[in-house]
A and B are shown apart, each in its own frame.
Chain A
């Protein structure tokens, strides 16, 4: 038995949570907020909502990434449930305990967190907003009208809002 108290994780930062946060940042901040949506908005801002071929092509070059990015957003949310759950932190606590006590700590850590944080609803919201954005994307891809583009922008904003409220670090 060690004389020092190192119950879990590295001494300075929770790198697992930081890596998840980095993923969220690249996907939602760098791609969606700073690339996809500005190009989409540029098309909508064109006079008479008729985007120039150049603006339209520029958006299309990014727009075709949506299906893959949507899947990444869903995966990000799914991983959040594990990465931010105190059950992950409880793993190392439980390692020194008998099987039943360890299982008790793991399950109560997750259940109490889920109850208090509302995380399950937040994750469901991400899924629902992605479904709606996927449908809006399909409508726009079939008929690239300004109305469908506006609808896609609105749905993507909702995805961004739903992902933004997911926690950035484990909760109790």
Chain B
């Protein structure tokens, strides 16, 4: 699927754009390409954005209309706001029956584009008429995964560090860090070793709504959520005291999932 990235400031960015995405510096460069491609990713602050095309439209709008008018999709991003106001872009595209979230995205105040757009998914996508460009926007609201991750890491501190497996210990910052953080809190967190505290924090009386939420929030390509489901099973279906292994496995899976969705930046 041909994707073009247009940015006259790419050298200053915190990200790189690589093959198979075609990089162009100016909008004029893009408009000179024989084919519009399927996806156009374009910096809304381009220096030539306000230049007027032969059609009478500004070049930024011309470029978006070119790709979307041919069945493609556009992503307009900016570190602040686009040079042409978001309202004007929306109004112009609306007149062409192009809809935000379906045909185009406008991403403002962007610090790091790969944190907002799932490039691997974008590269795999096939824009059918029904396909929504919003599908490649990373979801940053994963309340159940966050809740479970916070509870898991606190619970792991409540266990004896010797009983926590190495991967979880590493993710937590090391055994010494675990002991220091636990000591500085002034509490032991023992209550997190029993399921009822988790039930309250998750605001759910049964496993089903928790599992449904996990399924919805689990990012694609984050691997299996089996470890998390085993934890939920232990919490609800076989309500009993938790063991370090179950919590550690769930924590590692949650950590990977949050990192996969770029929730974690380190």
Distance between Cα atoms of A24 and B110 in the complex (Å): 10
How many Å lie between the Cα of A112 and that of B266 in the bound state?
A: 13
Q: Is A90 part of the contact surface with B, judged by Cβ < 8 Å?
A: yes
Say which residue of A4, A8, A29, A116 sits within 8 Å of B173 (CB atoms). Answer: A116
Q: Which of B111, B153, B200, B209 has the most CB of A within 10 A?
A: B111
The total of interchain contacts (Cβ-Cβ below 8 angstroms) comes to 165
Q: Give the interface centre of A7, A17, A29, A96 by most chain B CB atoms within 10 Å.
A: A7
A54 to B160, alpha carbons, bound, how many Å? 69
Whether B150 and A14, one on each chain, are in contact in the complex, defined by CB atoms closer than 8 angstroms, is no
What distance in Å separates the Cβ of A158 from its nearest Cβ neighbour in chain B? 15
Contacts of B150 in A (CB 8 A): 86, 89-90, 93, 105, 109, 172
> Which residues of chain B have C-beta atoms less than 8 A from A34's C-beta?
45, 80
> B80 contacts A30, CB within 8 Å?
yes
Instruction: State how many angstroms separate the Cβ of A43 from the closest Cβ of chain B.
Output: 21
Number of chain A residues close to chain B: CB under 8 A: 54
A17, B116: Cα distance in complex, Å: 14
A108-B173 contact in complex given A5-B204, A94-B201, C-beta closer than 8 Å: no
Scan B13-24; emit 1 where CB is below 8 A from any A CB, else 0: 010000000000
Give the contacting residue for B263; candidates A30, A90, A169; CB below 8 A.
A169
- The answer to whether B153 touches A172, judged by C-beta atoms less than 8 angstroms apart, is yes
Q: Which of B88-96, B189-197, B218-226 is the interface stretch? A: B189-197
Per-position binary interface string of chain A over residues 16-34, scored 1 when its CB falls under 8 Å from any chain B CB and 0 otherwise: 0110011011100110011
Q: Is A68 an interface residue (CB 8 A)?
A: no
Contact of A168 among B112, B153, B191, B192 (CB under 8 A): B112
Binary contact track A83-97/B, C-beta < 8 Å → 1, others 0? 000100110011011
**Contact flags B153-192 to A (C-beta < 8 A → 1, else 0):** 1100110000000000000110001000110111111011
Interface locus among B51-59, B61-69, B141-149: B141-149
Establish whether residues A11 and B141, one from each chain, have CB atoms under 8 Å apart when the complex forms. Answer: yes
The reply on A53 being an interface residue by CB < 8 A is no
Query: Are A101 and B197 CB-contacts (below 8 A) given A22-B109, A109-B154?
Result: yes
A84–B191 Cα gap in the complex (Å)? Answer: 27
A26: min CB distance to chain B, Å: 7
Q: Is the pair A10, B141 in contact by a Cβ cutoff of 8 Å?
A: yes
B112 neighbours in A (Cβ, 8 Å) = 168
CA distance A17 to B141 in the complex (A): 11
Cβ 8 A contact of A171, one of B181, B185, B265 = B265
B122 to chain A, nearest CB (A): 20
Contact check, A101 vs B192: say whether CB atoms are below 8 A apart.
Answer: yes
**A-B contacts besides A103-B187, A115-B181, A169-B140, 5 pairs, CB < 8 Å:** A7-B146, A25-B79, A101-B187, A170-B263, A172-B146
A-B interface, 8 closest residue pairs, ranked by CB to CB distance from nearest = A25-B109, A96-B200, A7-B147, A29-B79, A104-B187, A7-B143, A29-B80, A107-B185
Binding site for B on A (CB under 8 A): 1-14, 17-18, 21-22, 24-26, 29-30, 33-34, 86, 89-90, 93-94, 96-98, 100-101, 103-105, 107-109, 111-112, 115-118, 164, 167-172
| A/B interface sample: 9 pairs, CB < 8 A | A7-B143, A33-B79, A96-B201, A97-B201, A105-B150, A105-B192, A108-B189, A109-B153, A171-B263
- Chain B residues engaging chain A, CB cutoff 8 angstroms: 14, 45, 79-81, 108-112, 115, 140-141, 143-144, 146-147, 149-151, 153-154, 157-158, 172-173, 177, 181-182, 184-189, 191-192, 197, 200-206, 209-210, 212-213, 255, 258, 263-266
